[in-house]
Structure 1
Amino acid sequence: MKRKKLKIVLLVVFLALASLFWGYQKVERFANQPLAIQQETIFKLPAGTGRVALEGLLVRDKLIHNGRWFPWLLRLEPELAEFKAGTYRFTPGMTVRQMLTLLASGKEAQLSARFIEGSRLRDWLQVLQESKYIKHTLAGKSEAELAKALGLPEGDTLEGHLYPDTYLYTAGTTDLALIKRAQLRMNKTLQDVWQARDTSLPYKSPEQLLAMASIIEKETAVEEERTKVASVFINRLRLGMRLQTDPTVIYGMGDSYTGNISRKDLETPTAYNTYVISGLPPTPIAMPGLASLEAAAHPAKTDYLYFVADGKGGHTFTTNLNSHNAAVRAYRQVQKEKNEK
């Protein structure tokens, strides 16, 4: 009788252990299965989300097919249940356990906004407006209101004063915070470049160097040409010649610019039309990168006074008007041949 009871007890224990082992295997299989995604997925975990609510979100968003084993996994590995609110990036192949480990780490997704060299303030605001998960606070604000929000003195401009680069941020970061980071970085970069500049250059302030850099940025994207372009404009300033650079005309035209500049546009006075005004424009006309800032601070030593596109992606630099006119004719011939093909 005792032996029979012992067999029954052993059988029950065996079945219980087998059941536990079977359950453990199921939980392990669930923990090690990949999320049901084929591409990077951004997942937002709201503050105050508990275990049951998280399971519901994962099933709702079809990140897991079935949440049956989800609570058991959290009981077996309670450290995975310490998830933190935030916005996270899930990648293909990530397992359920890896996903929970990420949520417990609090390492939110690093999102990015890219601002290119030569872009203008209005371009930056458009990029920010289209960037996902940014908290928008600047919609509808004028440049003057934006400058005020950054604590700038009345009348100061942001044009040219934001450093172009790719900026990383986490969800919920404000557009103003990103603008502030770019502003501080440009201020620091400009001061460093100003301190190391060729002091013989005819700049009266860092703002003028920044304005020159913005013109260089708009005139050429060819790295080795930047210092030559800078030399042309420096030589013109020293001789009292007008800069006569089209990008300043375009900037001064504002929204009336439709892609072409006429002779009338060149002759129409604006605060920025360097065919009409002498010296540099009153403010930068774009956001220059480091290469253009360095070129403005250290131009090449040349006698060049003119340059024109060569039709091949670069420019032809000349020292006198006759040579410049010949270069212009050569450019027009290249364009004519291209159009005839």
Structure 2
Amino acid sequence: MKTLIKRLFVLITLAALMLAGGLAWYGTQPLHIESLPKTVNVMPGTHLRSLSVMLEREGVIDSASTFWLLGRVLGKGTALKAGVYMLDQPLTPLALYGKFERGEVSQAAVQFIEGWNWREVRAALAAQPLLKNDSAGMSNAELLRAIGAEESHPEGLLFPDTYFYAPHTSDLKVLRRAYRLQHEKLMAAWETRAPGLPYRTPYEALIMASIVEKETGAAFERPKIAGVFLNRLRLGMRLQTDPTVIYGLGERFDGSLHKVDLQRDTAYNTYTRTGLPPTPIAMPSEAAIQAALNPAKTSALYFVSRNDGTHVFSTSLDAHNRAVNRYQR
């Protein structure tokens, strides 16, 4: 038995050495890249496996599995920098990994996520090593003037998307693009809005869209959630939506919403104040804007989470309370 175990150990050791030797050889061999020069777009959040599959599909490497295994063995999975890479000469797999690690991009990328607030946007910009952070010392008012915005508050004015930029570009240029794109999306949706909506301006629709964005776990529910809130607005009911309260608390929010928080009056507390809050509370997606301007027709006035991303909608307070008892208590 001991002899068999020793033989198995020797075989496993030999197999590991052969694999290591094969990977070492592979890592130093020139890649047969199709049609140089070639651009490779590494999106923010790209994982090693998806990168390997994309490179094989684009004709940069022959085997996604071998390239991925080399990266795993060398611990490259957490060192990939997003951006657009220009491949203009033959490379080895090791040299290609080196470009991704060093971030040798012709264009870098920053991603704004739907539902982010303004603080998160500023943090994402500051974390970009290839982006000139010209906005760092500006007040919100100064920054808004610099990007051509007429609004007095920056929240919700940017379109959530991935923005590519040349190294050492000013962050104001990125912000200007994101602002203009959000404005275009909002105005296009405003032109095709449903009749009879209780908004006086497109900005009020943007406020509603930000609330819908923060309240929605399942994308298909956005229009119905918008319909509930618009029913409440028409009836003069308070919106009573937790995300606005959390936004009003700002950095005081500790991760849990307490009864005293719902009772503490702020400009954003929709439990204590009627109507829309004064500004958006987050960066709404195009889908949320469309939902706010083309809501589902519903008689529901209430909804409560099922704790799986979806909600139970109710037309009466009694039915709502039953749903709350079932799913929340």
**Equivalent of 1:199, from 195, 201, 208?**
195
CA distance in 1, matches of 2:241, 2:89: 50
Partner of 1:308: 304
**Equivalent of 1:222, from 218, 228, 231?**
218
**Equivalent of 2:259, from 258, 263, 273?**
263
Deviation at 1:169, TM superposition (A): 1.1
Partner of 1:46: none
**Pair 1:180-2:176 in alignment:** yes
TM-score (norm 1): 0.66
Q: Verify the 8 A CA contact 1:34 1:92 in the aligned structure 2.
A: no
Deviation at 1:89, TM superposition (A): 4.6
CA distance in 1, matches of 2:139, 2:254: 22
Partner SS state of residue 317, structure 1: strand
Q: 1:242 to 1:215 in 2, by over 3 A?
A: same
Partner SS state of residue 167, structure 1: strand
**Equivalent of 1:126, from 123, 126, 138?**
123
Deviation at 1:136, TM superposition (A): 1.4
CA distance in 2, matches of 1:206, 1:256: 30
Deviation at 1:92, TM superposition (A): 10
Matched letter for residue 262 of structure 2: L
CA distance in 2, matches of 1:302, 1:201: 14
Instruction: Using the TM superposition, name which of 143-152 and 198-207 deviates more.
Output: 143-152
Matched letter for residue 234 of structure 2: R
Partner SS state of residue 94, structure 1: coil
**Deviation string for 1:43-84 (max 9, x for gaps)?**
xxxxxxxxxxxxxxxxxxxxxxxxxxxxxxxxxxxxxxxxxx
Q: Verify the 8 A CA contact 1:134 1:172 in the aligned structure 2.
A: yes
Matched letter for residue 168 of structure 2: G
Partner SS state of residue 113, structure 1: strand
Give unmatched runs, 5+ long, in structure 2.
1-28, 32-38, 41-83, 97-103
Deviation at 1:152, TM superposition (A): 3.5
Partner SS state of residue 132, structure 2: coil
Q: Give me the identity figure in percent.
A: 48
Deviation at 1:141, TM superposition (A): 2.6
Moved over 4 A (4+): 87-93
CA distance in 1, matches of 2:155, 2:319: 35
CA distance in 2, matches of 1:122, 1:263: 25
Q: Verify the 8 A CA contact 1:249 1:274 in the aligned structure 2.
A: yes
Q: How does 1:54-93 map to 2 (within 5 A)?
A: 89=86
Q: 1:324 to 1:175 in 2, by over 3 A?
A: same
Aligned residues: 242
CA distance in 2, matches of 1:258, 1:89: 44
**Equivalent of 2:157, from 141, 151, 161?**
161
Instruction: Using the TM superposition, name which of 301-310 and 144-153 deviates more.
Output: 144-153
Give unmatched runs, 5+ long, in structure 1.
1-32, 42-86, 100-106, 334-341
Deviation at 1:235, TM superposition (A): 0.5
